[in-house]
């Protein structure tokens, strides 16, 4: 986890830390949990309607080809310098929205509304790490599938079921909903 130590009066970041137990002067600063990918340049803080200090959600701009209706580029709002309106359309996303949907799954309509296309879901960026973990878990059990395995028939059935669940883990599910199966027994 990453935390920002924020000055209560100026709302400026004093420091970023991963140490949840770090001591700071609570009369002058608040500790706010932020996303692991946040940096000083991408973080700003504001006060909400109740006066609490909260992280400001920056926008990400999508540059969409007007003819092909395809996303060409994602740009943080601080880096946006303009675009050719006759060729490209500007679509605004929140950072959390683009992370949840996955840019590679987006399909655009003629009016530049968008949706996450289930047929493109397997291309979602978050599946890279999920597949890496899944493949590691499958490799961990490969030896159990050999003819000379010391496992009982019951254990082999359980491992085959476990391995099939691992193979199916990315089928028709959003990456945020993936739940890895529990190992059937210690190995």
How do residues 9-36 score in pLDDT, each as one tens digit? 999 999 999 988 888 999 999 999 987 7
Work out the mean pLDDT of the chain and round it to a whole number: 89
Chain-centre distance of CA 89, in angstroms?
A: 25
Q: Considering only CA atoms, which of 110, 88, 113, 89 is closest in space to residue 101?
A: 113
Indicate if the pLDDT at residue 95 is higher than 90. Answer: no
Point out which residues pair with 62 in neighbouring strands.
74, 91
Pairing between β-strand 59-65 and β-strand 88-94 as defined by DSSP bridges? antiparallel
Residue 29: its pLDDT value, please? Answer: 95
Spatial contact of 58 and 93, defined as CB atoms under 8 Å apart: no
| pLDDT range class, residue 99, cuts 50, 70, 90 | confident
| pLDDT range class, residue 146, cuts 50, 70, 90 | very high
* Cβ neighbours of residue 114 closer than 8 Å, sequence gap 6 or more: 91, 101, 106, 107, 108
């Amino acid at each position: 986890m990453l935390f920002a130590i924020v000055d209560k009066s100026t709302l400026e970041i004093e420091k970023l830390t991963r140490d949840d137990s770090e001591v700071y002067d609570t009369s002058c600063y608040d500790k706010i949990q932020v996303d692991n990918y946040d940096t000083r340049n991408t973080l700003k803080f504001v006060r909400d309607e109740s006066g609490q200090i909260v992280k400001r959600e920056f926008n990400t701009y999508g540059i969409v080809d007007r003819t092909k209706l395809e996303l060409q580029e994602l740009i943080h709002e601080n880096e946006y310098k303009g675009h050719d309106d006759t060729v490209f359309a500007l679509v605004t996303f929140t950072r959390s929205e683009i992370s949840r949907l996955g840019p590679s799954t987006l399909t655009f309509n003629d009016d530049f509304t968008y949706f996450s296309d289930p047929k493109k879901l397997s291309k979602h960026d978050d599946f890279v790490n999920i597949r890496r973990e899944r493949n590691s878990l499958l490799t961990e059990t490969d030896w159990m599938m050999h003819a000379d395995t010391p496992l009982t028939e019951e254990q082999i059935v359980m491992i085959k079921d476990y391995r099939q669940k691992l193979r199916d883990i990315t089928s028709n599910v959003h990456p945020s909903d993936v739940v890895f199966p529990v190992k059937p027994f210690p190995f």
